[in-house]
């Protein structure tokens, strides 16, 4: 049987951040070339991340998932994706109640079902230690400064299971996001690369955010980026512990009750369509495991 031709998928989005969800439980292993082909919005489907559903890995979890970026690289954390995986599993008929655990590449995540297709995910504790990110700074600080070409960029850095830098800006809409983010990504300061957020504080409980992701580019929404932005801004005393994050694709809720507590991310999920890949996609796919 041609595993890839038979491979079904769902196109979903969470606050405008779009995903292709595939079920890996039958043994299908996506190859990087195949992932890049599916990511192309003209000749493939188009996504910010490919999400692969797997069996649970830890006791107590109902299922697991893996994450890939459009360039075929694996990612360790995806907040919007975790909500879409939860929604996908519920639609599949998995009896999961209102509160359950999913195994993500960066560890188990607790998920809560809210109303109207919304889900909340516990994204773990922000880790500001440079070695955890990883980031080459010698000591941890709320803000770092780096000269990049002709200007000095100030930013905070944190791991939400994946690496994030957060730059506070006066006007997110007017910020040259791609230029600044690719300079920071190319600086060599983040050995595993970095997702770069540009946050404009509107009020202590509301920010505007644009995120340029590692392995993807600018996205309409980034869940872990929203958590990272709030964590960095809380640490600098710029916002409170419960913040609405306005992204180009929608609004996400971020709550970080106290320093030693996990950050909770809430927001919408939506199904766009279901499909199955044509046989032509098989050419670039790896054999089944």
Q: Considering the complex, what minimum distance in angstroms separates the CB of residue 34 from ligand API?
A: 18
Instruction: Record the tokens describing residue 229, joined without a space.
Output: 């932005």
Q: How far is the CB of 158 from ligand API (least distance, A)?
A: 12
Catalytic residues, by residue number, are: 78, 222
DSSP 260: T
Helix axes 223-235, 79-91, angle to 10 degrees: 140
Question: How many CB atoms within 10 Å of residue 272?
Answer: 13
For residue 187, count other CB atoms closer than 10 A to its CB: 16
Taking the least distance from each CB to ligand API, the nearer of 221 and 239 is 221
- 93 a known binding residue? no
Is 69 labelled as part of a ligand binding site?
A: yes
Beta-strand relationship, 99-104 and 61-69: parallel
Closest to ligand API by CB, 24 vs 267, is: 267
Q: Please check whether residue 225 is in contact with residue 214, taking contact to mean a CB–CB distance below 8 angstroms.
A: no
Q: How far is the CB of 254 from ligand API (least distance, A)?
A: 12
Number of C-beta neighbours around residue 220 at 10 A = 18
In the complex, which residues of this chain contact ligand API (CB under 6 A)?
A: 17, 48-49, 69, 75, 77-81, 162, 195, 213-216, 219, 222-224
Residue placing its CB nearer to ligand API in the complex, 4 or 166:
166
Q: Is 195 annotated as a binding residue?
A: yes
Report which DSSP code applies to 183. H
Binding site for substrate, by residue number, is 17, 49, 69, 79-80, 162, 195, 213-214, 223-224
Binding site, by residue number, is 17, 49, 69, 79-80, 162, 195, 213-214, 223-224
């Amino acid at each position: 049987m041609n595993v890839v031709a038979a491979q079904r998928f769902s196109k979903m989005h969470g606050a405008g951040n779009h995903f292709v969800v595939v079920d890996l439980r039958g043994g299908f292993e996506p190859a990087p070339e195949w992932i890049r082909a599916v990511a192309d919005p003209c000749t493939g489907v188009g996504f910010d991340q490919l999400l692969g559903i797997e069996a649970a890995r830890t006791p107590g979890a109902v299922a697991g998932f893996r994450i890939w970026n459009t360039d075929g690289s694996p990612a360790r954390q995806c907040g919007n994706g975790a909500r879409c995986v939860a929604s996908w599993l519920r639609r599949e008929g998995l009896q999961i109640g209102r509160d359950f655990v999913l195994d993500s590449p960066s560890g188990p995540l607790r998920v809560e079902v809210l109303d109207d297709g919304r889900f909340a995910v516990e994204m773990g504790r922000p880790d500001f230690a440079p070695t955890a990110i990883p980031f080459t700074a010698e000591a941890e600080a709320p803000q770092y400064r780096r000269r990049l070409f002709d200007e000095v960029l100030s930013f905070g850095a944190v791991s939400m299971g994946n690496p994030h830098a957060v730059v506070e800006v006066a006007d997110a809409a007017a910020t040259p996001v791609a230029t600044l983010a690719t300079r920071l990504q190319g600086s060599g300061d983040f050995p595993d690369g970095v997702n770069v957020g540009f946050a404009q504080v509107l009020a202590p409980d509301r920010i505007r955010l644009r995120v340029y992701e590692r392995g993807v580019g600018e996205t309409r929404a980034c869940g872990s980026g929203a958590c990272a932005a709030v964590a960095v801004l809380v640490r600098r005393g710029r916002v409170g512990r419960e913040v609405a994050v306005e992204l180009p694709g929608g609004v996400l809720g971020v709550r970080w009750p106290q320093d030693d507590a996990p950050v909770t991310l809430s927001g919408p999920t939506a199904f766009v369509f279901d499909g199955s890949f044509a046989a032509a996609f098989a050419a670039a796919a790896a054999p089944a495991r």
